[in-house]
Amino acid sequence: MRRTVVFLKVVNSATRFHIFGVFKHKVQSDAVKSMVKVHTRRHHTARMMDVKTTKVSKARYYIFKLFLCLRYYLDLLIDRLFGIYYDSKREYIPKVKNQLVLESATALARKIQRRELTSVQVVEAFIERIQQVNPIINAIVDNRFEDALSEARQIDQDIANGTIQEVDFQDKPFLGVPFTSKESTAAKGLSWTFGLKKRQGKKASFDAHCIESMKKSGAILLGVSNVPQLNLWQETSNPVFGLTRNPYNTTRNVGGSSGGEAAILAACGSPLGVGTDIGGSARIPAFMCGVFGHKISNSIVSTKGLTYRTGEEEETMVCVGPLARHVDDLLPFIKLLAGSNADRLNLGLQVPVKKLKVYYVTNPKDPLMSPFREEMHSVLLKAVRHLEGLCLEKPQELVFEQLQHQYKLWKYWMSLEMKNFRKDLNNREGDQVNAVWEIIKHFLFGGDFTTATVFNLINGFLKPVNSVWAVEVTQSLKEAFLTKLDDNSVLLYPSAPFPASYHNAALLRPYNFDCFALWNTMKFPVTQVPMGLGKEGLPLGVQVVAAPDQDRLCLAVAKELEREFGGFVPPVIVADK
């Protein structure tokens, strides 16, 4: 045992030097120290007392540190190898020439209302931008440009002849403004395949409830955007429409499942996006593409028309997830989508941010996730420090042991959502797909399903999570959060271990979405807030969490962080006027 401890001490010391300097971007020793600190702080204080007296515990402590260091460098190696393949393939999206596409949806609606702009001018600007960027990023997979322009002309005519008056804009905040939506959400006359070859060419015959609400408000649908197969992956790619690329760096992941939606917003091809969120499906892409994404409180917006959902489901984690480049667009967006349920959210109540209680978690210490890199840790603490200087009460760090089970909890509740998964893959026609055959077929000579879908099939053969344990831990964790979160408090939570990684690298790090999925399990509202760009020019961000139906608190803090840190940063140079 003594020899083991000595050996581990040597390893621990060695990781502080550049013995792994073969990487192009060398990691300074203080970064490794910081990474280890993040994973061992506070939560391990009591354990450290035992380390001094128990050699076995000390050995375990160093083994844990060794594991973290090895995992950290393994991630760097993955990045290095994927970079060798992808970096030469990078493309750049064109500069923004028309300044209209940079404005918020609410600002555009005001200008249309004041007759400073016409709806046609706005719609044409975004159509032109989509046509510029989409051949590069592959975000929009079907469009209705001619119909959109026809609707815009009608709105302009109605404004001109007085049919539409100023009072109409009060109930219709995006009147005359375009929007886009993910392909898996039914939009009449547009593609509705969910990325399944068996549905290739299928068009929706009706509008999902959320699309219907947007259209009734006078917002104009431009098209639908790419998704992973059945929305079940953290990268947007499928055999029907291919891979969607990140506007900040086309070699990088856009997230999923609302990846096409976040990508076209970031590329300034749309001012508003209708996403959905069941395991971070709106917030993961929002994070990776540097826009705002919000998971609305559960049971506020009907799920009718979201993939196979009818809106009659009694219990589900899925929510509509609006995306926008400007936080001011989110509140009217949510109000519009919520309809008669908006009163539950009290969106009209003012939120004095300085009176809020602020809590934060620096690291959930989830062993399935990659170690957090320094820039992600730093950006969360920047948000904490800013609120510390603003709020009357000092932010308080929270540590909950149950957070290490983020994925297991989500996996259990997701298993209740995916009871028909194999039949869904067969478009609910006839028998369910043969999982074993599809797995073999995929790796031998391909098939109709992506590697991500095959991963989900394999996952179905693994030992299920104990239901009694999952229910108990979920309830205890929710109660622990609710002892802190009320109608005057928020929680800052990390988004991911690092910014958008190379395409397909998520297959080697499949659990790095856990910090997003946790809040679907808890059924809490969350806003993903962009916090500038990191050292590689990729978006950084944090999540702002509140108690159920307290969405306005998330939005208020998101607005304050946008004001202080700048919010959305365009991924392209803006051309001279």
User: Catalytic: which of 104, 119, 258, 281?
Assistant: 281
Angstrom distance (rounded) from CA 257 to CA 90: 23
What is the token pair recorded at 201?
């060419």
Angstrom distance (rounded) from CA 452 to CA 570: 30
Helix (H) or strand (E) holding 397: strand 396-397
88 is a catalytic site residue: no
User: Catalytic: which of 257, 489, 495, 501?
Assistant: 257
Cβ pair 325, 271 in contact under 8 A: yes
Instruction: Count Cα atoms within 13 angstroms, Cβ side, for 218.
Output: 25
Cβ pair 309, 268 in contact under 8 A: no
Cβ pair 374, 76 in contact under 8 A: no
Angstrom distance (rounded) from CA 134 to CA 244: 9
User: Catalytic: which of 182, 295, 523, 559?
Assistant: 182
Locus of tokens 């928020």: 490
Residue 529, SS3? Answer: strand
Helix (H) or strand (E) holding 530: strand 526-533
Give 344-364 as a 3 state SS string.
Answer: HHCCCCCCCHHHCEEEECCCC
182 is a catalytic site residue: yes
Bridge partners of residue 377, in order along the sequence: none
Burial class (CB in 10 A: 0-12, 13-18, 19+), 190: buried
**Nearest Cα to Cα of residue 351 among 494, 195, 551, 105:** 551
Our CA angle for 70, 71, 76, nearest 5°, is 95
What are the residue numbers of the active site?
Answer: 182, 257, 281
